[in-house]
Amino acid sequence: MRAVILAGGKGTRLRPYTTLIPKPLVPLGGRYSVLEIVLMQLAQAGFTHVTLAVNHLSQLVQAYFGDGSRWNIRLDYSLEDQPLSTIGPLTLIDDLPDDFLVMNGDVLCDLDYRAFLEAHVARGADVSVAVFRRDVHVDFGVLRYNAGFDLEHFEEKPSLAFDVSMGVFCLNRRVTAALARGRPYGFDNLMLDSLAHGRRVKVVPFDGYWLDIGRTEDYEYADEHFATLAARLGIGIA
């Protein structure tokens, strides 16, 4: 039960909160850091070894989390000397098992991480991606017309639904083994190359609770509603 958490970003969308501290250490409810909640969830799900892929202010992250013994997990670190995007950091980790979980360090959700990984293994997939239905509201009237510019449809301020990546996915080691070591490579590259090369990518819809706190407004919401959020995520605050 191995997981890799991507925790090397600068958190520019969360400034000024991340001016002096890295995004994984931003506190919620004055009690836990964001990444601490993720580690507690992984430990509860039975993960025994977690690697943090770090870069920006990495010394602060390592000093805070140490060896992971507080959460009864083995915690180690993979340090980037340049930004490698989402998938590139995985090429620096030499001891990955055949299948493993990867997730962003700023995602809070009640996904069953153990069941997600086990289903990925059972399917024999190269990649499994957890997706969430997100509504995007358009603040304008939308017109559709034909090649002759005749109006065919009008909708005032529609809401469009999309299945988006949650920043939680599983990989088989053969995917990362095929990549150049230490080169920038993103999740978008992984998806496009997987389509081009016929890799088996399974999409796993999720309808539980999911919050990406990379934006200031989402972080402030999570901080303000932390007591309710903690209960939803199975984290005790007594």
pLDDT value for 106: 85
- The letter for the amino acid at 184 is P
Across the strands, what pairs with 74?
Answer: 49
Return the CATH number of 2-131+163-233, one of 3.30.70.260, 3.90.550.10, 3.30.310.50, 3.40.1410.10: 3.90.550.10
The residues spanned by each domain of the chain are: 2-131+163-233
Sheet holding 99-104, edge to edge: 74-79, 49-54, 2-6, 99-104, 159-172, 127-137, 201-206
pLDDT tens, the chain, 238 aa long: 999 999 866 555 555 555 557 677 878 877 888 889 999 999 999 999 999 998 877 788 888 899 999 999 999 999 988 889 999 999 999 999 999 999 998 889 999 999 999 999 999 999 999 999 999 999 999 999 999 999 999 999 999 999 999 999 999 999 999 999 999 999 999 999 999 999 999 999 999 999 887 777 888 888 888 888 888 888 776 5
The 10 Å CB-count burial string (b at 16+, else e) for 92-101 is: bbeebeebbb
Cβ within 8 Å of residue 20, ≥6 positions away: none
